[in-house]
Structure 1
Amino acid sequence: MNYLKKVVIVFYCLFSGGLYAQQHPSIMLTKANVDAVREGVELYPLLKTSYQEIKQQADVAIKQAINVPVPADGGGGVTHEQHKKNYNTILNCGVAYQLSKDIKYANYVKDMLLAYAAQYQKWPLHPKRKENHQGGKIFWQALNDCVWQVYTIQGYDMVYDAIAPKDRATIENKLFMPILKFLTVDCYTTFNKIHNHGTWNVAAVGMTGYVLNKPEYVEMALKGSKKDGKAGYLAQIDQLFSPDGYYMEGPYYQRYALLPFVLFAKAINNYQPNLKIFEYRDQLLAKAINTSLQLTYTDGTFFPINDAIKDKTYETIELVYGLNLAYADIKPEAFLLDVAQKQKKVIVSDAGLKVAKAIAEGQSQPFKYLSQWIKDGGNGNEGGLGILRSGSNQDQQCLLLKAASQGMGHGHFDRLNILYYDNNGEVFFDYGASRFINIETKRGGHYLPENNSWAKQTVAHNTLVVDQQSHYHAKVSEAEKYNPDLIHFSAEPNMQIVSASENHAYPGVKMLRTAALIKIEGAHKDLLVDIFRVEANKEHQYDLPFWYKGQLVDASFKVEAYKNNLQALGNNYGYQHIWLNAQNSLKDQSGFVSILNNKRFYTTHFTSDKLLNVKMLSIGANDPEMSLTEGKAFMLSSQANASEQTFVSITETHGNIDPVNETVESAYSQLRNLKLISSDQKKAIISFSYKNVAYRYEIDYQAKQNFARLIQENKF
């Protein structure tokens, strides 16, 4: 009998007899541990500062008149922000009440909830609900209503015993029960959707069901409206996460979805510990939290693949919750404490107490970033992400090869895209999403039209474009049918390598990309080696852009930028947003471009088995509302159509500048004579020289061992 069937049987037995006896508070902060947390606030610095911040916010809030406005504005608007402020106030005051025992905080929560109860049922669907999304009543989309409820029910749980039974009845019957009906009946499709919107919905309903002692709602939250296990919380864990804990929409949405997953898990564990929810799918939630951390660069920012706002770091509140619960309730890994210290806060809760105590006792160990292949898909068979890292956390090289599934509606058409980081920043970057989130003055805080016309398109990424068209013609329904395949992954000390293929993005076209970090004697840092082979059943035009940060400082060819009358590079699939600044048709098959980025030089040498046209590009064409952000690229294009072509590049990190003392060191690359010796379906052989040594490498696409190897080294 599998685990899910066991869970279903246990739930049937429990629900037929009702839930366990009620006790408040009972989610993050529990009645059994309130005294210990109160003592911990005085003993452990991180818990103390975290509580002081919450209490200060609560103290500011209760001095103001309660404001429950009729919903009117979209994301970032006045009423939107007020209702967000209200749910944070409800939770903060709940915590302040439990730890200070001052009834004024509980009374403020009670009065605010009564104000909502007096109005909620009169409100229609939000007047500015988002197109193609389930509208909410409090907010423009039901998703935000669910977030409101997840926070609010925790605050209510904390002040429950301080509210008179009559007022509790009013709050529950006129506010929370109508909300439950809205989220399960009016939002039926979203409630049963395998998606982050569905996750927030089932968490809101399930947590409310526990606090209000409504077992039928808990059962629906866990198993879907039909209670058959095909939807609901458990199905979402099964289908949205891979066995490695990767969330299919990408790191940015993994961060967002984690909060309802872990909060509901905490509630399940507290109310029904015999279900062992933290053990589900081999401790899947712990893996998801650890994987979220591994999906960041050493500056804490998440890899911005798919629809992502690039400023998000692991300091976000979702990862604070997730890390605290992972350490306290699942597995007390000492390296998690290192991240908690960088987050500079803990949740004022049972879990936060354990984390703060362990840090105060000196149990923290440095967080270790790993080179790894992270599988995608519920069964781990839908491609994945290859991450290669070299160097210390203070100055780390990091290469990401994206060979994952489409990622549903938030996915971009960027199969075999690479990102490259060094020196605490981006070198080859991803644009992320085109959106000014919650800034109502910019298209109401919605995704901008350019998110579809530019950010999702293939040419906006560091991957191959065929005939100036995006992968799968930018159709999500087609892209979701297929995924890239891993060819090889290994992370040996002197050579880390990942290779993956994509054979469905264009009809009759097979793409294979191999990227590596290779240590060689005398090099300041590992060389980034990139080999992209394309094979087709007819001739095509191939473009391989490299979007970079920094300034162009040198090239093997004379760059003569157009002085006026700039033209867009094309008419569709993102090309219409690119200015063609210069182009050079190379007379031989090799060249280089050198970039100065964050006081360090990066020289990319490139070659091919066909003659190349190098185009210098910038973002900004056909942008009437000035919405697109700055970006530059060099693009390697085939001079003539071809059925097969192999692009090879090696990026060397070298030298530095000191702008204060006006000194420059090692501004010139030491790599020379990059050549593609041979390339076919079976293997590729490249050669180059570095300082006084000539190297020749073989990449064997069919080898299970010795996939990539140094086959010749000559000193001269």
Structure 2
Amino acid sequence: MEAARHSGVDLWNVKAPADNRDSGADVERRFGAAGIKDVKPMFDALFYRTFSDGSVSNVANASADHFLRRRYYEAAWRAWRDPKYAYAARISSTDSRPWDKTSKSKANRVTDAADLLWIEPSLPDGSFSLEPDARIGNSGIHKNGCTLFPNGGYAILRTSTDPSAVCAEMNFGCWGSGHSHPDKLSIVVSDGNKKVVREVKYFGYADDKYLTWDRQTITHNTVTVDQTSQAPQGKTDNAWPVPNPGAIVRGRPIFFYPGKRLKAFRAECTDAYPGVRLERTIAIVDSIVFDFFVIDSATQHEYDYALHIDAPLMTTRNKMKPTSMSPLSQHFGYRHIEISEVGKAPLTAYLGYGRKIQFLTPSRALLGSGVAGKGHAGRSVVVLRTEGTQSIYVSAFQFKPQNVQVSLGQYSSAQQTILIGDNLKLINTGPNISLYDTNGRLLEIAR
């Protein structure tokens, strides 16, 4: 675009009609119709795909751990005079929390001769905040500190826009290219200081573990069925699979609710495994993240709910017993997981500094470690295993020190009830998720 500008052609502001084939995950266009668009939302989206401190989740083959300065933001500011681009052009690429505004380091804007083609002498300091509501393109929504990209396939719930806020992200989008991973409905959860439940660090394309680890569903924070990765990866030994002609592999966004006390998002996927429906709902209430994962099938299967945790784990006393399963199995992904404890859920995993994860529904619990990446020790891995035609996993993540009692009330595949402290009740059902007080008064509903 800059080359065209130097030739007198302005591509920065060209308007073009959307193509219905470019609907991404939201094929039904539930969250916004096709319309005229330009390239600016591509730049804007990078700001809103962050957690409250400016860190990002590593999805597909991306390796960046936080929002990165790029010299093209200088040109973007020149084209649109948007202050956030000026801010992005001045932050240091080493600042891992660029939205907390405490870093004193600034970018060296000229590092080689090519930078001289981009630099804008009149660039101001600029500014950016996640506080104001915004619309990103035709369908991207940023409201009350939470963000949904229904076509791109990302939803981020933020307790607030404070850099230390607890945040949860779900990845549900289309299999877009060979760089995509079989990770539909996977989550990342940040405690406001670090991503505690996170994506693993990936291997290079030439490494054998790129196929046997990176490209496998068990590597991600989602559910694996029958120890087989989601389509189109499946059991193939091809590191670059693609869907069959005419096929689509996507999660479908169901609802997005950035409320006052309740924030919630739900997506489903029926393309990952033939005859299996996956549905995941994440919600935040008072800095506690709740995760409801419901699986339905007409036939029997084995289900593995996996979390990769960047912290040492201690579990409920007498719930787990030492064991040695090295590896967990010989299937791709599983062959790199070593199990050291086995037991049964419900149980609580303690992560230190007052943080804990409660696994509230019955399952076989397997705890151990996996591969984190070259030069890294294996991160903690939790695998909760169930069998049947249906399965339900309900978990609560308390990553801020607080003495709030969380327990599971009545539950079935149709409805799960969570009791929060002495005065709140969270009910997840097929159509919605609702927050009540203990007197039965409806406080908020997401649907």
TM-score class, shorter? 0.7 to 0.9
Structure 1 residues 603 and 373: alpha-carbon distance in aligned structure 2, compared to 1, 3 A threshold:
same
Corresponding residue of 1:413: 182
For 1:133-212, what aligned pairs fall within 5 Å after superposition? none
Deviation, 1:425, is 1.1
Kindly report which structure 2 residues correspond to 1:12-411, keeping only aligned pairs within 5 A, or say none.
265-273=1-9, 276-281=11-16, 284-311=38-65, 313-316=66-69, 319-321=70-72, 323-329=73-79, 331-343=80-92, 344-346=107-109, 347-348=115-116, 352-355=120-123, 358-359=124-125, 364-368=126-130, 370-376=145-151, 384-411=153-180
State whether residues 556 and 593 of structure 1, in contact with CA within 8 Å, keep that contact through their aligned partners in structure 2: no
Deviation at 1:310, TM superposition (A): 4.2
Partner secondary structure for residue 324 of structure 1: helix
Deviation at 1:694, TM superposition (A): 4.2
2:270 maps to what in 1? 503
Aligned in 2, Cα 1:333/1:292: closer, same or farther, shift over 3 Å?
Answer: same
Partner of 2:383: 635
In structure 2, the partner of 1:140 is none
Alignment match, 2:413: 679
Taking the aligned partners of 2:127 and 2:371, their CA distance within structure 1 comes to: 45
Distance apart, 1:301 and its partner CA: 4.0
The alpha-carbon distance between structure 1 residues 332 and 472, as it changes in their structure 2 partners (threshold 3 A), is same
Shift in CA distance, 714/602, structure 1 to aligned 2, threshold 3 Å: farther
Distance 1:390 1:342 in 2: 25
CA 1:366–1:553: 2 relative to 1, 3 Å: same
1:310 touches 1:432 (CA, 8 Å); kept in 2?
no
Q: 1:711 aligns with which of 427, 430, 436?
A: 436
Match of 2:393 in 1: 647
User: How many Å apart are 1:286 and its aligned residue?
Assistant: 1.8
Residue number in structure 1 paired with 2:260: 493
Q: SS of the residue aligned with 1:451?
A: helix
* 2:425 corresponds to: 696
2:417 aligned partner, one-letter code: I
CA distance in 1, matches of 2:318, 2:91: 45
Q: Is the 8 A contact 1:496 1:517 kept in 2?
A: yes
Instruction: Verify the 8 A CA contact 2:154 2:171 in the aligned structure 1.
Output: yes
Equivalent residue number for residue 214 of structure 2: 455
Partner of 1:113 in structure 2?
Answer: none
Structure 1 residues 701 and 556: CA distance shift in structure 2, 3 A: farther
Please tell me whether the aligned partners of residues 607 and 676 of structure 1 are also in contact (alpha carbons under 8 angstroms): no
Q: 1:548 aligns with which of 309, 312, 335?
A: 309
CA distance in 1, matches of 2:186, 2:121: 41
Residue 556 of structure 1 deviates from its aligned partner by 5.5
The aligned counterpart of 1:616 is: 367
Give the direction of change, closer, same or farther, for the CA distance of 1:389–1:672 in structure 2 (3 Å limit): closer
Q: Does structure 2 retain, via aligned residues, the 8 Å contact 1:339–1:367? A: no
Change (3 A) 1:557 1:326: farther
Question: Bigger CA drift: 447-456 or 412-421?
Answer: 447-456
**Aligned-residue offset at 1:334:** 2.2
Letter in 2 for 1:372: T
Q: Secondary structure at the match of 2:183?
A: coil
1:686 counterpart letter in structure 2:
T
Deviations 1:328-361 (A, max 9, x none): 11x2222333333323244545752232xx22xx
Contact 2:171 2:185 in 1 (8 A): yes
Match for residue 161 of structure 1? Answer: none
CA distance in 2, matches of 1:310, 1:632: 21
- The answer to whether the 8 Å contact 2:184/2:269 transfers is yes
Higher relative helix content: 1
CA distance in 2, matches of 1:461, 1:531: 16
Contact 1:338 1:367 in 2 (8 A): no
**Larger proportion of strand:** 2
Q: Distance in 2 between matches of 1:405 and 1:350?
A: 33
Equivalents in 1 of 2:376, 2:389: separation in Å?
A: 34
Relative contact order: is structure 1 or structure 2 higher (C-alpha 8 Å, sep ≥ 6)?
2
Q: Find the aligned partners of 1:461 and 1:350 in 2 and give their Cα distance.
A: 38
- Looking at structure 2, the residues matched to 515 and 627 of structure 1 have their Cα atoms a distance apart, in angstroms, of 32
1:473-484 to structure 2, matched below 5 A, reads 474-475=233-234, 476-478=241-243, 481-484=248-251
Aligned counterpart in structure 2 of residue 531 of structure 1, from 276, 281, 292 = 292
- How far does the alpha carbon of each residue in 1:214-258 deviate from its partner, in whole angstroms, 9 at most, with x for none? xxxxxxxxxxxxxxxxxxxxxxxxxxxxxxxxxxxxxxxxxxxxx
C-alpha distance 620-498 of structure 1, shift in aligned 2 (>3 A): closer
Give the structure 2 partner of residue 207 of structure 1.
none
Structure 1 counterpart SS, 2:174: coil
- The question of whether the paired residues in 1 share the 8 Å contact of 2:51 and 2:156 is answered with no
Secondary structure, in 3 states, of the residue corresponding to 1:453? helix
1:472 to 210, 213, 231: 231
Is contact 1:556–1:592 with CA below 8 Å preserved after alignment? no
Task: After TM superposition, give the deviation of residue 298 of structure 1 in Å.
Answer: 4.7
Which structure has the larger Rg?
1
8 A Cα contact 1:458 1:465, kept in partner: yes
Change (3 A) 1:320 1:629: farther
Give the direction of change, closer, same or farther, for the CA distance of 1:700–1:670 in structure 2 (3 Å limit): closer
Structure-2 separation of matches of 1:491 and 1:556: 37
**1:489 CA displacement:** 0.8
Contact persistence 1:434–1:628 (CA under 8 A): no
Structure 1 counterpart of 2:359, which letter?
Answer: F
Aligned-partner Cα distance in 2 for 1:392–1:489: 17
Query: Secondary structure of the equivalent of 2:322?
Result: coil
CA distance 1:328–1:644, shift in 2 (3 Å)? same
Amino acid at match of 1:333: D
Work out whether residues 315 and 347 of structure 2, in 8 Å CA contact, stay in contact via their aligned partners in 1.
Answer: no
Say whether residues 1:425 and 2:212 are aligned partners: no
Change in Cα spacing, 1:328 to 1:531, as seen in structure 2 (3 Å) is same
Using the size of structure 2 for normalisation, the TM-score is 0.78
Superposed CA deviations along residues 678-705 of structure 1, whole A, max 9, x for unmatched, are 332xxx2312231xx1432233433xxx
Q: Which runs of 5+ in 2 are unaligned?
A: 17-35, 93-106, 110-114, 132-144, 235-240, 441-447
Q: Which runs of 5+ in 1 are unaligned?
A: 1-264, 378-383, 436-445, 520-525, 656-665
CA distance in 2, matches of 1:471, 1:320: 37
Q: 1:550, CA displacement in angstroms?
A: 1.1
- Where 1:465 maps in the other structure, the secondary structure is strand
Aligned in 2, Cα 1:466/1:458: closer, same or farther, shift over 3 Å?
Answer: same
Rounded Cα–Cα distance in structure 1 between residues aligned with 2:130 and 2:392: 35
